[in-house]
Chain A
C-alpha cells in the first residue's frame, strides 16, 4: 500500500437550517474553501482530481435517492468515478477511509471525500424517528425507539457497574461547548456550567438536552492524495502543500440490536493486561464485555488503527482526539474503548482535566493538566451532527490542528495546540454498530 495524505479540507458552517441552499450548493461551499486554501483554481482541480467518495446517511432526510450523483454533477466532477458510502453516524469516517483506500491501492492519486446532511427538512421528533429506523424495526423501533433512549439505557448500566455520575457526564458537555466557543463553524457556542447541563430538560433519564448533540444542516470535505497527487497539486498551484499523513485506519462492527451484545473477554491494547479487568470492582469479579456499557466496535477499530500506526500507549502517543460525542455518555464510553483510560474509569477520567484544552478557562476545578485534549473543536455536542458531514468535519479539524493552521481557519488561535504530532479521529454509528478510527500525523 502507498502512503496517503490529507492535503486540504473545508467545512460549511453547521446550522440548524440552511434553507438558502440545496445540499449540492452547501457541499460546493466546503469544496470551494478546500481549493482556495491550497490556491488551486477550480478548473485545474477538475482536471487533476481522479474521483470522489460521497457521504450521506439518510435517504429519508433528503427524500431524494442518489443524492450523491447530484452533488457530483453540481461540483462538475462527472463523468469521473464516485461511490456513495452509508454507515449511520459513522458515514463520514467511513467515507474518509474509503478515499484512503482509493489512494493506498493506487487506484487514484487525488480523491475528494465529501459529505453532507440536511436534517432541517423535518421537525426534530420526525428526525428522531428517521434516525430510529437505524435500529431493528421489528423489535426495537416499535417499542418506543429513539436513540437518546438507547444511549440512556447504555449509560445507566455504565453508572450502575462503574459508579459513573451525571456530573462527570456534564463535565464533557461544559468542555465541548466551551471549546466550541472559539470555533466559528460550531452550531452551539455556549459557556455552560455543570448546573446548566443538569438543569436542562431531561430527554431520556438521565440525559438532558445538553448531554445530547443536535440535528444540523451542513457539509464537509477533504482532499486525499498520494505522493504523486501532491506533486500534481504542487505543479498546478506552484505552491508547496502542507500535507498531513494518514498513518492508521481501523474499523469495527457490532450487532444492531444492543440487546444482542454478548459477554466475552476484553480485546486488550498493548498497554493493558488481562488482570486489569478482574477484581471486586467488576460485577461478578470480572468485566463482562462489551455488555451494553462498552462499544466492542470502538475497541476493534482502535486496535486496528493503533497497530497500523504503531501506537502502543494511546494516551501517551496521541496528542488529541476528535471523537464521536453524540452523547456526553458516549464520549466517556469511548475514552475506554480507545484505551485513553481503562474500562470503568471513564467517568473519573472525564473530570480529571486530562481531556481539556490548555489555556481555556472552563470554570471547573480540574486536578490534572491537559494530556490529550478530546474534541478540541467542540465535538458533535457543540458543533452539531449533520451525519454525513460529521466524520469529515473531524478530519478537517484534525488536519488543521496538525498543520498548525487553526488560527487562520477559525480566526482565533485559542484552539490551536502547541505543535501536535499525532491526532485520532473516531466516527460511530448506531449503538456502536459501526465505528471507524483513523490516525493522522504531521509529515
Chain B
C-alpha cells in the first residue's frame, strides 16, 4: 500500500517579475542556446451571449417555474429544453416540469475549471423526471460531500430556486425531497 508522501517541491505561484531586458551575446551564433523568453499575457473578453430560442427556460427560472419541452409530433419529452425534436425533427412546445425528480447520477467536484474553483467541493447531478425522456444537469445541495455514496443514486430530490435570478442554469438547484 501507499507510503505517506511528504511534499518535496515548493509551491509554484503565478506572480512573477516583469521582464524589461535580457542578456544578449556579442556572438549571434550563441543565440540558439538562449533560454526561451516566456511572458504573461492577459486575455479578457465580454461575450454577448443570446439564449435564443431557449430564452423562455431562463425566464421561467426567474419566475420559479421549471420548463421543459415536448415534441408535438412524437411526444418525446426534453428535461433540458430543445425546441427541435432530436427524435423526429418535429417542433416542440414548452411545458411545465414536475418540481420533483430522482438523482440519476451525481459527483462531488473537488476540483474544477477556474471559474468554479472557489465553489469546490460542490455536487453535480443529473435529475430524471417522471414522464420525460431526458435528464437535467444541476447542482445538488444539502448533502455532505464527504459522505458521497452510490446510495444517493435514485434519491428523490426537489427543485429550489434562487430568489435573485442570475439568468443562469444555476438559478434552479435540487435538494433531497
B49 on the interface (CB 8 Å rule)? yes
A156 and B153 alpha carbons, distance in the complex (Å): 8
Q: Shortest beta-carbon distance, B16 to chain A, in Å?
A: 13
Across the two chains, which residue of chain B brings its CB closest to A293? B105
B1 cross-chain contacts in A, Cβ below 8 A: 193, 195, 199
Are B105 and A63 closer than 8 Å at their CB atoms?
A: no
Residues from chain B with a CB closer than 8 A to the CB of A139 are 54, 80, 137, 169
Q: Establish whether residues B43 and A146, one from each chain, have CB atoms under 8 Å apart when the complex forms.
A: no
B81-125 Cβ-contact flags toward A at 8 Å (1 or 0): 010001100000000000000001111111111111101001011
Residues of A within 8 A of B110 (CB): 201-205
- Please pick, from A128, A193, A195, A206, the residue contacting B112 in the complex, using a CB distance under 8 A: A128
A143 contacts the other chain (Cβ, under 8 Å)? yes
Is there an interface contact between A143 and B82, defined as CB atoms closer than 8 Å?
no
Query: Complex formed: what's the CA distance from A145 to B113 in Å?
Result: 7
The answer to whether A364 has its CB under 8 Å from any CB of chain B is no
- CB of A160 closer than 8 Å to a CB of B: yes
Closest partner residue, chain B, to A157 (CB atom): B105
Binds B, one of A76-84, A255-263, A385-393: A255-263
Contact with A along B118-159 (1 / 0, CB 8 A): 010010111000000111111100000100101001100000
Residues on B with C-beta less than 8 A from A148 are: 109, 111
Residues 13-51 of chain B: 1 if any A CB is under 8 Å from the residue's CB, otherwise 0? 010000000000000000000001010010100000101
A260 touches B78 (CB 8 A): yes
- How near does chain B come to A333, taking the closest CB pair, in angstroms? 13
Which A residues lie within 8 Å of B107 (CB)? 149, 152-153, 156, 204-205
B67 on interface, CB distance cutoff 8 Å: no
Residues of A within 8 A of B66 (CB): none
Task: Determine if A123 and B153 form an interchain contact, defined as CB atoms under 8 angstroms apart.
Answer: no
Q: How far is the CB of B40 from chain A (nearest CB, A)?
A: 10
Which chain B residues lie closer than 8 Å to A145 at the CB level?
113, 116
The number of residues on chain B lying at the interface, defined by a beta carbon within 8 Å of a beta carbon of chain A, is: 50
A20 to B35, CA, bound (A): 7
The digit string for A58-88, where 1 denotes a CB below 8 A from any CB of B, is: 0000010000000000000000000000000
Interface band, chain A: 35 or more
Pairwise interchain contact A144-B111, C-beta atoms closer than 8 A: no
How far, in Å, is B134 (CB) from chain A's closest CB?
5
Say whether, besides A142-B168, A260-B78, A262-B134, A205 and B108 are in contact (CB < 8 Å): yes
Q: Which residue of A lies closest to B172 (CB)?
A: A143
User: B137 is contacted by which of A125, A128, A257, A263 (Cβ under 8 Å)?
Assistant: A257
Question: Does any Cβ of B come within 8 Å of A137's Cβ?
Answer: yes
**B-facing residues in A15-31 (Cβ within 8 Å):** 19-21
The answer on a CB contact under 8 Å between A128 and B168 is: no
A138, A203, A259: which contacts B134 (Cβ < 8 A)?
Answer: A259
Q: Is A221 engaged at the interface, CB distance under 8 Å to the other chain?
A: no
B119–A144 contact, CB under 8 A?
Answer: yes
Known contacts A125-B114, A202-B110: A142-B170 contact under CB 8 Å: yes
Partner of A144, one of B79, B109, B134, B154: B109
Q: Is A126 an interface residue (CB 8 A)?
A: yes
Given known pairs A19-B38, A142-B169, A260-B80, the reply for A126 and B114 (CB within 8 Å) is: yes
Distance between Cα atoms of A159 and B148 in the complex (Å): 13
Q: Given that A143-B170, A160-B105, A259-B79 are contacting pairs, would A137 and B113 also be in contact in the complex, using a CB cutoff of 8 Å? A: no
Once the chains bind, are A143 and B137 in contact (CB under 8 Å)? yes
Q: State whether the Cβ of A41 lies closer than 8 Å to any Cβ in chain B.
A: no
Check A128 against B114 for contact (C-beta < 8 Å): yes
B2 at the interface (CB under 8 A from A): yes
Cβ of B122: which chain A residues have Cβ within 8 Å of it? 144
- Is B109 touching A196 in the complex (CB atoms < 8 A)? no
A140 at the interface (CB under 8 A from B): yes
The A171-206 residues at the B interface (CB cut-off 8 A) are 193, 195-196, 199, 201-206
Inter-chain CA distance A125–B108, complex, in Å, is 16
Asked whether, in the complex, the Cβ of B134 is within 8 Å of the Cβ of A157, the reply is: no
7 A-B pairs with least C-beta separation: A129-B113, A152-B107, A195-B1, A205-B108, A259-B135, A157-B105, A128-B113
Q: Which residues of A contact B (CB under 8 A)?
A: 19-21, 63, 123, 125-126, 128-129, 131-132, 137-146, 148-149, 152-154, 156-157, 159-160, 193, 195-196, 199, 201-206, 255, 257-263, 292
27 A/B residue pairs, CB under 8 Å, sorted by A: A123-B114, A126-B113, A137-B49, A138-B169, A139-B169, A140-B137, A142-B170, A144-B112, A146-B111, A146-B113, A152-B107, A152-B109, A156-B107, A157-B104, A160-B154, A193-B2, A196-B2, A203-B109, A206-B148, A257-B80, A257-B137, A258-B137, A259-B135, A259-B136, A259-B137, A262-B134, A292-B126
